[in-house]
């Protein structure tokens, strides 16, 4: 299976304006049960399965996490400066001097002083949950890292995370539960807990399964905290509490001032008030961790979970009143992920068809249509042969794979279309100030063109790809233009083959997926 994801390297500014008076169409599934480092929502994921270790994405991920790890530690130690007891501050100043240029970057000596400071904090009974105590721990871990003592650094980070998890999951009446002074204190601890979780991911980046487990564990704590006060009709399942029965039940959500109007595909409608305060103060940390979880799922080839996370993230972004530009980018990413998942499912579908051909002795060309029997004169005979020689389990699996693939394609289309619908509501003066909106619209248009090319809707695909080319040139999105030209080349070749009587190739793998994940 050939899959290529392009990457845009340019960093982009985020839109600060709130367009609360404009309708925003996004794909949301409020009844579906599927699935401090400052993450840049405009950065690109780069996924090149099935060899993620060689991808540019990981280099970007490692660089970003490394930078954030250092700044996160600095945040804890220098803010607020004045809250350390004078006896502790005196020791810390020695450590800061030792690790500075003036102290000739003597990290070994700095580590000695930070360990002394921690020991003194224990002597004066400083609360290990406090920002000050955590800040000292992070400086100790940072020095271990600078001295290339990774195991010791990991031990410190795990120690912090273990304490946070113990307190946050404890019964309110228990010894550890009583350490939380108020709801605000609990929420601040969740904020710090998510930051530590991201740091742990950096330390364990060669083990994606462990990274996913770390993020899911810590995200669920934040999710449960949100659900305690969330007023939505049904508590959000933001990570991966799976039940695929609701996959086909999709909803269209529009914004009406501070209310989300949700219309179901069966005619039902209900309203949910946006509650950004419910997510404070860990809004950024929560969505940063969700975005990182999705990226890790992509890099490890777990497209199903990546899609679940992105869908859940879109739901949560609506309720949290996240900046529309971020929501738009996330929605475009979701469309790409769903199409990638459709590609994976179609590969399974083709494999099953070939297996059925081998089992029954029926030529593959007669079975390669999606329904297995389409346009066959002897459908009943073929159906009887399949029923006799193909196990019920395999037939059931095939039906499920085909159904899931079709759902993923349709949801991908809806996701890309929602980006275009939203863009229509943004004032032109705002778009002129924020070119990344134009780029994302060009990208969504391109994505729709690629999907329609696969579906054989050549006229629509050509129109969309040409439109994307015009948009890309207008906003100087030069990186996308060569890929548009390549897709148009494929389209013209296929149309020419069809006119010559050459059958269209039947699998998605023959059309490389060039949808960008920004």
User: Which pLDDT does position 172 carry in this prediction?
Assistant: 87
**Dihedral sign of CA atoms 174, 180, 183, 189 in order:** negative
**pLDDT above 80 (res 33):** no
Q: Where are the beta strands (DSSP E) in 245-341?
A: 251-256, 259-264, 269-273
Looking at residue 389, the DSSP 8-state letter turns out to be H
**Which range is least confidently modeled, 123-127, 265-269, 289-293, 429-433?**
265-269
Q: What is the spatial distance between Cα 507 and Cα 349, in angstroms, rounded to a whole number?
A: 9
pLDDT at 374: 57
Q: Which residue is listed with tokens 């721990």?
A: 137
What is the per-residue pLDDT for 257? 59
Query: Which region among 133-147, 315-329, 496-510 has the lowest average model confidence (pLDDT)?
Result: 496-510
Most confident of 172-176, 229-233, 311-315, 319-323: 172-176
Are 303 and 1 spatial neighbours (Cβ–Cβ below 8 Å)? Answer: no
CB neighbours of residue 270 within 10 Å: 14
Q: Is the pLDDT of residue 59 over 80?
A: no
Backbone angles phi, psi at 171, to 5 degrees: -65, 140
How confident is the model at residue 119, as a pLDDT? 94
| pLDDT at residue 160 in the model | 95
For 69, other C-beta atoms within 10 Å of its C-beta total: 22
Q: Among residues 223, 213, 211, 124, which one has the least CA distance to residue 168?
A: 223
d(CA 409, CA 427): 30
Q: Are 324 and 24 in contact (CB under 8 A)?
A: yes
* pTM (2 d.p.): 0.65
Round the average pLDDT of the chain to a whole number and report it.
Answer: 75
Sign of CA dihedral 102, 104, 108, 109: negative
Select the more confidently predicted residue: 229 or 374. 229
The helix (H) or strand (E) run that includes residue 159 is: helix 150-168
Q: Is the pLDDT of residue 350 over 80?
A: yes
CA distance 468 to 446: 5
- CA distance between the termini of the chain: 22
Tell me how far the alpha carbon of residue 222 is from its chain's centroid. 16
Alpha-carbon distance of 93 to 114, in angstroms, equals: 9
Question: Which strands form 251-256's sheet, in the order they lie side by side?
Answer: 26-28, 251-256, 259-264, 269-273
203: tokens are 């330390």
CA distance 49 to 138: 35
């Amino acid at each position: 299976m050939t899959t290529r994801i392009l990457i845009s390297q340019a960093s982009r500014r985020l839109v600060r304006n709130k367009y609360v008076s404009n309708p925003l169409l996004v794909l949301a599934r409020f009844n579906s049960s599927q699935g401090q480092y400052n993450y840049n929502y405009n950065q690109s994921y780069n996924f090149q399965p099935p060899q993620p270790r060689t991808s540019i994405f990981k280099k970007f991920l490692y660089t970003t996490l490394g930078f954030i790890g250092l700044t996160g530690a600095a945040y804890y130690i220098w803010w607020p400066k004045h809250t350390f007891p004078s006896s502790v501050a005196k020791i810390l100043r020695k450590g800061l001097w030792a690790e500075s240029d003036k102290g000739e970057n003597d990290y070994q000596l700095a580590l000695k002083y930070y360990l002394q400071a921690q020991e003194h904090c224990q002597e004066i009974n400083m609360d290990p949950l406090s920002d000050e105590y955590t800040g000292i721990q992070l400086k100790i871990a940072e020095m271990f890292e600078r001295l290339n003592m990774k195991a010791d650094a990991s031990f410190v980070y795990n120690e912090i995370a273990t304490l946070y998890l113990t307190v946050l999951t404890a019964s309110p009446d228990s010894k550890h539960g009583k350490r939380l002074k108020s709801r605000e204190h609990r929420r601040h601890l969740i904020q710090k807990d998510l930051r530590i979780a991201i740091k742990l991911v950096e330390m364990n980046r060669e083990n994606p399964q462990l990274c996913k487990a770390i993020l899911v564990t810590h995200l669920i704590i934040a999710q449960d905290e949100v659900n305690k006060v969330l007023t939505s009709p049904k508590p959000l399942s933001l990570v991966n509490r799976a039940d695929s029965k609701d996959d086909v039940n999709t909803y269209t959500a529009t914004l009406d001032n501070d209310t989300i109007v949700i219309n179901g595909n069966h005619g039902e409608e209900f309203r949910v008030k946006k509650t950004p305060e419910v997510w404070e103060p860990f809004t950024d940390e929560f969505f940063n961790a969700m975005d990182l979880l999705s990226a890790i799922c992509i890099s490890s080839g777990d497209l199903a979970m990546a899609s679940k996370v992105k869908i859940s993230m879109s739901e949560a972004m609506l309720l949290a009143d996240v900046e529309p530009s971020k929501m738009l980018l996330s929605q475009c990413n979701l469309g790409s992920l769903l199409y990638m998942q459709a590609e994976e499912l179609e590969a399974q579908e083709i494999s099953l068809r070939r297996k059925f051909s081998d089992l029954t002795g029926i030529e593959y060309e007669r079975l390669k249509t999606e329904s297995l029997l389409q346009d066959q004169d002897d459908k009943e005979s073929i159906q009887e042969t399949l029923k006799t020689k193909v196990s019920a389990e395999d037939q059931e699996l095939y039906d499920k794979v085909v159904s899931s693939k079709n759902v993923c394609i349709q949801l991908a289309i809806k996701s890309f279309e929602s980006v275009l619908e939203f863009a229509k509501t943004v004032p032109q003066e705002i778009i002129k100030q924020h070119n990344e909106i134009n780029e994302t619209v060009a990208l969504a248009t391109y994505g729709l063109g690629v999907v329609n090319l696969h579906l054989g809707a050549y006229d629509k695909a050509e129109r969309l790809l040409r439109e994307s080319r015009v948009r890309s040139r207008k906003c100087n999105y030069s990186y996308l233009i060569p890929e548009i030209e390549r897709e148009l080349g494929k389209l013209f070749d296929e149309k020419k083959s069809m006119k010559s009587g050459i059958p269209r190739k039947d699998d998605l793998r023959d059309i490389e997926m060039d949808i960008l994940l920004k």
